Structure 1
Amino acid sequence: MKNRLFKRLKTIMVLSLFFCILFLACSYLYIKEGHVMEEKEIGIYENILEYISLELSHTLKKIPNKYKKNVEEIRLRYGSPLNIYSNNSDFFVTKDGLLTRNKKDGRLVDKREIIETFQLVSNYSVYAFEEEIKNGFITLRGGHRVGIGGKVLYGPNGIETIRDISSLNMRIAREKIGVSEKLIKYIIDFSHTIYDTLIVSPPQCGKTTILRDLIRILSNGSKDLGGKGMKVGVIDERSELAGMYNGMPQFDIGLRTDVLDGCNKKDGTIMLIRAMSPDIVAMDEIGSINDVDAIHEALKAGVKIIATIHGSTLEDLVSKKSLRMLIEDKIFKRYIFLDNSKGVGTVKDIIEGDSFTSII
């Protein structure tokens, strides 16, 4: 009897020790993974400082790591305080790298620093980036984008260039692998394809990040699709989805994805349908009549659409003349609404496109 009891106690102690060790190992791996992720995000921020004038980059390098890992934008404006957006808030940066909301304490940006930064961004060859500059931005290695403010010069064929640069907006691209996994089941049709889907979001609420990750999953193959991958054609008019740099996507957009970079949506849709036979065409920030025409071209060819648009509610969309017809004709079967109430990319609601009722 005593031997049996002793054996049981010994077994319980061994199992307790095992589970204790397992718990500690899992906790260590979780903490380590979190630390690695934080270092990666800080590294992304510090890499973009290579494109900023030396004095400004020294100041920006001093800001606390807890802000570095979440910086979305670095804004340089001639004669104004150095400005960053982090954690859904904007701050001015002091000369010592402290963050403040008092504009008087912010470190002022001068003209020379803007010129030096623009030279670094354009690799000292403005001519090589003329086409991008006409569109108001330059794409950097890593998929980051630099918006340009200044004097716009027109010629016979429209905008020719931007001179007298007065402001630069360094938009830091942060890839979020897996952020859309919980959405896949809502956009998959039973016929092993997807519903035509529109992602609706105010600015800086994660719609491009969500769309990019959906493209990756659909292209690689999802268990919700029986493991089958789909051919995805991406019209990346603003070079944000794939972040193409010298012909190479800077983001993971999947194995079966083809990209038309810098192409308008109407031309891009026709080109993809004619030459690439996509199952899905993905496009970011629709809104114009030409964009609506592009969607109709895809639908006529039996190609599915997944797109994004600025907005907060269905009423916002109906108020846009160019989009009203798409909504009234019930073209989209899924509307995914995002906000940043619980962080960037928060899913506020998913609406079924025929009845306009929530399905979550």
Structure 2
Amino acid sequence: MKEILEVLPNHIEHDILTITSSLEDLEEIRLRINKSVELVFHSHSYFLDKHFFTEQDAKEFLGKISQHSVYRMEEELRNGYITIHGGHRIGISGKVTLTNGQVKAITHISSFNIRVAKEHKGTAKAIIPYVYNKQSEKMFNTMMIGAPKSGKTTLLRDLIRSISDGLYGIKSARVSLIDERSEIAAPFEGVPQHDVGRRTDVMADCPKAEGMMMMIRSMSPEVLVVDEIGDEKDVKSLKEAVHAGVQVICSIHGYSLEEIRKRPSLAPLFQDHVFQRYILLDHLQSPGKIERVYGETFDSLTNNIRGNRYEMDRSHSDTVHVHVGRNRYR
């Protein structure tokens, strides 16, 4: 949270610290030009009505999160977000311009959404008996399914740490993490800021499909972890990893196993029985609660595991130009 407060305009930082008695359950801070700042908690939201978030505030904020060099954030800005020190992701919305059907620039930024990253150790302990094969001393190939803000990132981070350090009865293993959005390990200048274990190697800010193949060739992992798979390239790389003898763990956006199984791009994973375990997170209750664990044949292995109540849990063109309100950044 310290990293977020440091980049906020001073008056907003002061209001948050003054009005909010506890920030432990804070999930998002939403900044909209000429509107009150909104603090989003799991079960409610709260507006800071004392001050509006102005255009000048937006200029100052963008300068801080980009370290006063928007050029260095080009790829992230094209995807609509910036990840800052500490793994906090800041979503951006506004007007975009297109070139040949691809995003060329984000213009007239009107809103920022700061998603608060939280590191809570021990969140993965409840699922270890279901995802670790004691007989073979290896992880089951596992898919973690959850809606936005259901706690996927935090649970995945702690599972990586547990495998890497050999916790909770697991035989330690070399882990390669493809952290495309820099949310899991939160690397700063290449060094992870979150604890992902001492046997974990991280490839950050790299497309998932390419990153998986690079890590298999260069780091000889025993377990490969990737966040938020989705397209055919990701599926192909996951299958290649399994055929290379690597255990794979991934997460995916979804509300149910049935929904995920209907996605055409994922069909090869189910047809070839790539995964032996499916972890479904409960999106209606507290973040981090596990609703159900499924086996390879989609049978329910258990119901209502008591998970820890924590979360936090991202074309090619030339240059991105960014404007805040009527003012332009390049």
Q: Tell me the TM-score normalised to structure 1 length.
A: 0.79
Q: Does 1:272 find its partner at 2:220?
A: no
For 1:119-149, what per-residue CA distance to the aligned partner results, in whole angstroms no more than 9, with x for missing partners?
1111222223223323322222222121222
Task: State percent identity of aligned pairs.
Answer: 38
Unaligned stretches of 5+ residues in structure 1: 1-43, 96-106
Question: What corresponds to 1:57 in structure 2?
Answer: 13
> Structure 2: how far apart are the matches of 1:230 and 1:64?
42
Deviation (angstroms), 1:245: 1.2
For 1:77-103, what per-residue CA distance to the aligned partner results, in whole angstroms no more than 9, with x for missing partners?
1233311211332332221xxxxxxxx
Q: Does 1:219 find its partner at 2:174?
A: no
- The more displaced of 57-66 and 179-188 is 57-66
Please identify the structure whose Cα radius of gyration is greater. Answer: 1
Whether the 8 Å CA contact 2:225–2:249 is kept in 1: the answer is yes
Q: Does 1:164 find its partner at 2:108?
A: yes
Question: What corresponds to 1:243 in structure 2?
Answer: 186
> Structure 2: how far apart are the matches of 1:112 and 1:348?
44
For 1:325-349, what per-residue CA distance to the aligned partner results, in whole angstroms no more than 9, with x for missing partners?
3224322110111115552100111
Q: Secondary structure at the match of 1:239?
A: coil
Q: In structure 1, give the amino acid aligned to 2:219.
A: M
Deviation (angstroms), 1:352: 0.9
Q: Does 1:203 find its partner at 2:159?
A: no
Q: Secondary structure at the match of 1:238?
A: coil
1:3-82 residue pairs with structure 2 within 5 A?
Answer: 44=1, 46-66=2-22, 68-82=23-37
Deviation (angstroms), 1:60: 2.1
Whether the 8 Å CA contact 1:269–1:297 is kept in 2: the answer is no
Q: Tell me the TM-score normalised to structure 2 length.
A: 0.86
Deviation (angstroms), 1:196: 0.5
**Distance change in 2, residues 1:295/1:214 (3 Å):** same
Question: What corresponds to 1:295 in structure 2?
Answer: 238
1:300-315 residue pairs with structure 2 within 5 A?
Answer: 300-315=243-258
Question: What corresponds to 1:141 in structure 2?
Answer: 85
Say which of 329, 334, 344 aligns to 2:272. Answer: 329
Question: What corresponds to 2:313 in structure 1?
Answer: none
1:99-118 residue pairs with structure 2 within 5 A?
Answer: 107-118=51-62
Q: Secondary structure at the match of 2:4?
A: helix
Deviation (angstroms), 1:324: 2.8
**Distance change in 2, residues 1:240/1:86 (3 Å):** same
Q: In structure 2, give the amino acid aligned to 1:339.
A: D
> Structure 2: how far apart are the matches of 1:206 and 1:268?
23
> Structure 2: how far apart are the matches of 1:298 and 1:88?
40
Indicate the structure whose relative CO is greater, using CA pairs within 8 Å and at least 6 residues apart. 2
> Structure 1: how far apart are the matches of 2:7 and 2:146?
30
Deviation (angstroms), 1:204: 0.2
Q: In structure 1, give the amino acid aligned to 2:232.
A: I
> Structure 1: how far apart are the matches of 2:112 and 2:188?
20
Whether the 8 Å CA contact 2:180–2:208 is kept in 1: the answer is yes
Whether the 8 Å CA contact 2:120–2:158 is kept in 1: the answer is yes
Paired residues in the alignment total 302
Whether the 8 Å CA contact 1:217–1:254 is kept in 2: the answer is yes
Q: Secondary structure at the match of 1:224?
A: coil
Question: What corresponds to 1:338 in structure 2?
Answer: 281
Q: In structure 2, give the amino acid aligned to 1:297.
A: E
Deviation (angstroms), 1:222: 2.8
Q: Does 1:193 find its partner at 2:138?
A: yes
> Structure 2: how far apart are the matches of 1:342 and 1:152?
35
Query: More strand by proportion, 1 or 2?
Result: 2
- The more displaced of 154-163 and 271-280 is 154-163
Q: In structure 2, give the amino acid aligned to 1:89.
A: H
> Structure 1: how far apart are the matches of 2:190 and 2:104?
24
Q: In structure 2, give the amino acid aligned to 1:283.
A: V
> Structure 2: how far apart are the matches of 1:244 and 1:160?
27
